Amino acid sequence: MKETIEHFILENFGFLPPELLVVFVSALPILELRAGIPLAFLQGLSATEAFIYSMIGNLLPIIPILVLFRPISKWMLRFSLYRRFYDWLYNRTMKKSNNVEKFGALGLILFTAVPLPTTGAWSASLAAILFFIPFRSALLSIAIGVVIAGLGVTIAIYSIF
């Protein structure tokens, strides 16, 4: 599925400059910087550029999610289709967020830093909301986790290839 999404993005957004394309892909859920940094490599960007542009992209959606998810979700829960989606999202996030539940904001760093499927900035933002972690603590923890994940993925991609 991830390859299909990446192919779709390259096919339909390939006209964008490489830097903007990396920011765009890194801002998307599921893909995040795990796809943005390899894309930057394939686009010929340096490791530093890949890291910076993927960080920008991965951090862009965090503040809107932390600020807007709860009020929008509260309003949307009156629709059965959204309620089913919310229940699925809630259960999926709760299954993956043991460290967040145990360690709060510090757990968000671990949750975000591990560059595995279903972990990352988007999921950590939702976990922060579900566990009522204060905005500033959540934002700082997620940002630190994104930097750690970004460094790991950048070093892995650029040292292997």
DSSP string covering 67-111, please?
A: HHHHHHHHHHTTSHHHHHHHHHHHHHHHHH-HHHHHHTHHHHHHH
pLDDT tens-digit readout, 111-158: 899 877 778 999 899 889 988 899 999 999 999 999 999 999 999 999
Angle between helical axes of 121-130 and 80-96 (0-180°, round to 10): 100
Instruction: Give the number of other CB atoms < 10 A from CB of residue 133.
Output: 22
Q: Domain limits of the chain?
A: 2-59+154-160, 62-151
pLDDT tens-digit readout, 61-90: 999 999 999 999 999 999 999 999 999 888
pTM, to two decimals: 0.86
Nearest to 92 by CA among 121, 119, 131: 119
